[in-house]
Amino acid sequence: MTEFDIFYVFYHGDVVLIGVFLTLLVLSIATWAIAATKGLSLIETRRANRRFLQAFWNAGSMRTLRDAVFEHRGPLAAMARDGWHAAETYPGRHDTSPKGEQRLDDHMIRMIRQSMDRQQLRLQAGQTLLASVGSLAPFIGLFGTVWGIHNALIELSIMESVSMDLVAGPLGEALVATAAGLAAAIPAVAFYNVFNRFNRLMQQDFEAFAHDLHAFLMHSDRAPGIHTQRIDQPLPASDTRPSAEGA
């Protein structure tokens, strides 16, 4: 055999080498599947956040504000729902004393922080696998190469005469395992870096909105009296934050 044919490994290779190639194939397919689904999901997430922020800060009444919170999708809308629910269901929401307001403030900070952490974990879904593929695939491929070279040398040692054709074929096939490992690892690392960058930018949006949401819910006209506001009561113009739309 003088040609480097990857299918030769499956026809003549042993179980270990075949297992290496199948493992790398599965990891590569999983990498591209995660990249496609996660990429589309992150694009939709950013669009949903933009639509929600526009509706949230442009709400003219409590009715439209509540509709924006409970009808929109996306991480920021989920944070707003969690914060709204925490303000409405807090047992000491009627306590207007300084200590009562401080306890409410601590409660809202804790609830909004927990909600933000949950949204960040959802954004990071799938990245652990990408990191694992990026770090393990080259070593899996290297193991396949070492194993293939070992088997090739054993076969050559029992031959009476050895030519370049007999050496180049088996060794070339073994080296393909290293190339396959790199082919699986490089896209995984690239996708991981892209998604990690996106998540860092999104985390900044979360932090900015969490601060604005806490200030909004703790406003004297809002909390702890969100649940007591007339649903059609207009919002003061000062409550709209145009700067938040770019968050």
On the question of pLDDT at 62 being above 80, the answer is no
Q: What is the pLDDT of residue 92?
A: 66
Q: Return the axis-axis angle of helices 15-57 and 62-71, rounded to nearest 10°.
A: 170
Q: Which of 217, 236, 235 is nearest to 227 (CA)?
A: 217
Better-scored residue on pLDDT, 191 or 229? 191
Q: Report in angstroms the alpha-carbon separations of 13 from 41, 119, 203, 243.
A: 40, 47, 48, 63
How high is the mean pLDDT of the chain? 78
Q: Is the Cβ–Cβ distance between 38 and 195 less than 8 Å?
A: yes
Which of the four pLDDT bands, split at 50, 70 and 90, describes residue 96?
Answer: low
User: pLDDT, tens digit, for every residue of 69-90?
Assistant: 888 888 998 888 888 888 777 7
Place of tokens 């956040």: 49
Q: What is the CA radius of gyration of the chain?
A: 29
Q: What is the pLDDT of residue 155?
A: 72
User: pLDDT, tens digit, for every residue of 230-242?
Assistant: 444 444 444 444 4
Q: Is the Cβ–Cβ distance between 188 and 31 less than 8 Å?
A: yes
